[in-house]
Amino acid sequence: MKKKSFEDELAKLEKITKELEEGDLSLEESLKHFDEGVKLAEYCNSKLSDAQRKVEILLKKGDSLEPVAFDNLDDENE
């Protein structure tokens, strides 16, 4: 199974948003799209929060930036 990427999921969310804004869907299709969009938004928000935490860790390493292994952070969110 292909691992989700932030960019792919964001593109799906943008497509769903556009389709909902156009208003050409039935109520049932709109609800289905809305539900999927909420899930995609939660996924994207989670990935952005992870990235923000990683940047904050890098910036808290004193006066110089130091790379930090983030394998542990990724495991916590799955």
> CATH: 1.10.287, 1.10.3470, 2.60.40, 1.10.260. Which one for 6-76?
1.10.287
User: Strand, helix or coil at 14?
Assistant: helix
How many angstroms separate the CA atoms of 38 and 17, rounded?
Answer: 10
pLDDT (tens digit per residue) in 11-50: 999 999 999 999 999 999 999 999 999 999 999 999 999 9
pLDDT band at 57 (very low <50, low <70, confident <90, very high): confident
Nearest 5°: the CA angle 59, 44, 36 is 170
pLDDT of residue 52: 87
Every domain of the chain and the residues it spans: 6-76
Q: Which is more confidently placed, 33 or 2?
A: 33
Contact 70, 43 (CB under 8 A): no
**Six token digits for residue 48:** 């952005």
Mean predicted confidence (pLDDT) in 56-60: 74
User: Strand, helix or coil at 68?
Assistant: coil
Using the predicted structure, report yes or no on whether residue 76 has a pLDDT greater than 70: no
